[in-house]
Amino acid sequence: MEALLSIVTGMLFMVSMYFILHRHLFKLILGLILFGLATNLFMFVAGGLTRGNSAILKQDQEVAIEPYADPVPQALLLTAIVIGFGLQAFAIVIIKRVYQVYKSNNLDDLANNDNIEH
Amino acid sequence: MSQHLLVLLPLLLPLYGAILCLPFWKRSLPQQWVAGCTQVCWMASAAMLIYEVTTTGIVKTQIGNWPAPYGITMVADIFSALMIGASTIVGFAVYLFSLRGLNESRKTYGYYPMLLLLQMGISGVCLTGDIFNLYVWFEVLLISCFTLLALGGTKAQLEGTIKYVTINMLASGLLLTGIGMVYSLTGSLNLAELGRLVRQPGSDLSLVNIASIFFLIGFGIKSAIFPLFFWLPASYHTPPIAISAFIAGLLTKVGIYTLIRLFTLVFIMDRNFILPLLLVLSGLTMVVGVLGAASQTDFRKILSFHIVSQIGYMLMGLAINTPLAIAGSVFFILHNILVKTNLFLISGVVAQRHKTFALKKLGGEYLKNPFLAILFLLSALSLAGIPPFSGFWGKFMLAKAGLLNENYSIVATSLAVSLITIFSMTKIWNEAFLKPKPDNNGSEKEVVTSEEKQASRYLLVPVVLLAGIILFIGLYAEPVISLSIRAAEQLKNTDLYINAVLNR
């Protein structure tokens, strides 16, 4: 299972970089989302995949029954997913705004504007 | 006041300030009052924290009273307290500037709460003692920074923001990958515990090295180190001055702060690879940044490239890695936060009158406003490191440490870069202040209303405040130097930090 998920993680990283390096705004969004997914999956795999019990203790239990999954990477993942969700939402809004203002979905059309008005 | 509250106040004050601003959405005046009070309180809390840390040593608190390696720790040593102190001063100055130097719609729709949240993020990064928590604070800082950069939504701002957002999301992803690796290798996220684990004899550290490269790249992007700095000059000059001055003054330095923290405390193995690499990177960062600055003709773009160049000096101290060199870095970071913000604010005062930042169209400022010219000269010379001003002491400490450690080439590079820094500052001086104002249309006379005159006089207040502090640090450098030397000793003597956090 670890080997398979490692390969999937690598492919996710690869595809996301490919998308980000494109000069298309929509592919940029896809790339950023996939990159977030790849890092999350990496953390999940690196934290160790343990099948078996959860680390939740019953009332009269002192220690969890082996083998149990480490809860820390899962907690980290949940936080990271939520943060990534917020950032991606912001990125999508800003990219949509860029599309509306520049009327183009090519990053090269974003003229380098040195005369800045406020 | 209890130590626990002291450590948390720099976080809580901006948070509550931002929340209090939100009910007054659409009305800028109450927001200004709330934000102003918060800035003053924040400054006071930072001053108390610095006092506490310098008198009693490292202070810490465990969130939720979970003991150290399991819960989240908030720690303040001298370095982090000084960082927060400098950022409160800059925050107050930028707040004063924003009262007259920012348009009404930006002030009404979110400038003050976002600035406060950004300041909370900076405090969080400086105070946290947990590597994942560090990531979370960086995200808090980034999302408020994105919003500030895009606030107002002009074409140039959107272009700058999209670059900034993309590169920073990549950097955060790399950081998260590194954190995942560190956790899977050591089974701990607490910085002090990590520092203890990597120092244990017989632990296998070869993979932790690889993880450290993720951190180097992630924070390298955030702090604009040599091959990773291209986003900075492309985005920092786009928002209005009241926003870009704060971001330019602080964010890259916070990245350097974390690099210094992590590479003195946790990633201490394999010095023979990392330190020469950092040394080469710091030299290249200095040179490329200053050459970029020399080729620009826009006031703010020159200053943006100078940020990159100055980052090289801060990295140089970390790369030499003797106590004196790190003290030099600490001093240089503090000095640079103040000076860089001040230069940006001055560019804002000049542009407020001429309605442009292009050096070609500026001119005649020396005759019209000699006081502002002197303030600029003071900050520019301080940036370049001319003796009586604050930049000199930082560069002196770094150069002395380099010579003692026999790194002659980096010292030579840093001194040469100082010369080119003076050159590009002279360019601004000649073009914006000394040469007569070019009149393109001949007949078009500048109409300055009395209201505008009053506003621009008011804008000088934060500039004078910062310039006074810079001058003070330059002429009376002893207390700041001794504080940075003590900070460096704490950073190098990691047992203090580890024992304080782990309660041993």
Q: At what angle do helices B155-186 and A25-46 cross, to 10 degrees?
A: 10
Nearest CA in chain B to A91: B165
Q: Please report the pLDDT score of residue B300 as a whole number.
A: 87
| Structure confidence at residue B448 (pLDDT) | 63
A113 close contact with B: CB closer than 8 A: yes
With a cut of 0.85, is the ipTM above it?
yes
Q: Is the pLDDT score of A107 beyond 70?
A: yes
**pLDDT of amino acid B16:** 94
Residue B447: predicted pLDDT: 59
DSSP run (H or E) holding B60: strand B59-62
Which tens digits make up the pLDDT trace of B363-381? 777 888 888 888 888 999 8
Q: Which of these ranges, B72-81, B349-358, B438-447, has the smallest mean pLDDT?
A: B438-447
Residue indicated by tokens 């790194």: B407
Residues of B in contact with A72 (CB under 8 A): 183, 189
Q: Is the pLDDT of residue A10 over 90?
A: yes
The shortest C-alpha distance from A60 to chain B (Å) reads 22
With cut-offs at 50, 70 and 90, classify the pLDDT of residue A117: very low
Residue B445: per-residue pLDDT: 52
Label residues B113-122 b or e (16+ Cβ within 10 Å = b).
Answer: bbbbbbbbbb
pLDDT band at B1 (very low <50, low <70, confident <90, very high): low
**Model confidence pLDDT, tens digit, residues B67-77:** 878 888 999 99
| CATH number of the domain encompassing residue A17 | 1.10.287.3510
CB within 8 Å: A35 and B169: yes
pLDDT of residue B87: 93
Closest CA of chain B from A70, distance in Å: 10
* Residue-by-residue DSSP string for B71-83: S-EEEE-HHHHHH
Flag whether A32 is in a domain: yes
Taking residues A7-36, what's their average pLDDT?
92
Asked if the structure places residue A62 within a domain, the reply is no
pLDDT in tens, B338-349: 999 999 999 988
Is the separation of the CB atoms in B17 and B38 below 8 Å? yes
Residue B441 has pLDDT above 60, yes or no: no
Percent of chain B predicted with pLDDT > 70: 97
- The structural domain count of chain A equals 1
Beta carbon pairs, A and B, within 8 Å:
105
Lowest mean pLDDT among B77-81, B92-96, B102-106, B188-192: B102-106
- Nearest chain A residue to B188 by CA distance is A72
Any domain includes A114: no
Q: Is residue A88 part of a domain?
A: yes
Spatial separation of the C-alpha atoms in residues B337 and B320, rounded to whole Å: 22
Q: Report the distance separating Cα A39 and Cα B278, nearest Å.
A: 26
Is the confidence at residue B388, as pLDDT, over 60? yes
Model confidence over B206-222: pLDDT tens digits? 788 888 899 999 999 99
**Domain presence at residue A116:** no
CA-to-CA distance for A38 and A15, rounded, in angstroms? 10
Each residue's pLDDT tens digit, A59-94: 887 777 777 788 888 888 999 999 999 999 999 999
- Contact criterion met (CB < 8 Å) for B169 and A87: yes
For B139, nearest residue in chain A (alpha carbons): A83
In the predicted structure, residue A52 carries a pLDDT above the cut 80: no
The amino acid at residue A25 is: L
| CB neighbour list of residue A25: distance below 8 Å, 6 or more residues apart | A95, A98, A99, A105, A106, A107
pLDDT band at B446 (very low <50, low <70, confident <90, very high): low
B205 vs A12, which has greater pLDDT?
A12
Residue B442 scores a pLDDT above 70: no
What average pLDDT does this structure show over A19-28?
A: 89
Mean pLDDT of B150-176: 89
Residue A72, in any domain of the structure: yes
**pLDDT at residue B160 tops 50:** yes
CA distance B7 to B13: 11
Residues on B contacting A at a C-beta cutoff of 8 Å: 103, 132, 135-136, 139, 142-143, 146-147, 150, 152-156, 158-159, 161-162, 165-166, 169-170, 172-174, 176-177, 179-181, 183-184, 189, 237-238, 240, 298, 301, 356-358
In a domain, A103, yes or no: yes
Integer CA distances (angstroms), B270 to B149, B278, B466, in order:
39, 13, 41
Mean pLDDT for the stretch of residues B330-343: 92
Mean pLDDT, range B124-146, rounded to an integer? 92
pLDDT band at A118 (very low <50, low <70, confident <90, very high): very low
Confidence class for position B334, pLDDT limits 50, 70, 90 = very high
pTM for this predicted structure: 0.92
A contact test, residue of B138, B151, B169, B298 with most A CBs within 10 A:
B169
Q: Which domain holds residue A43?
A: 2-54+67-109
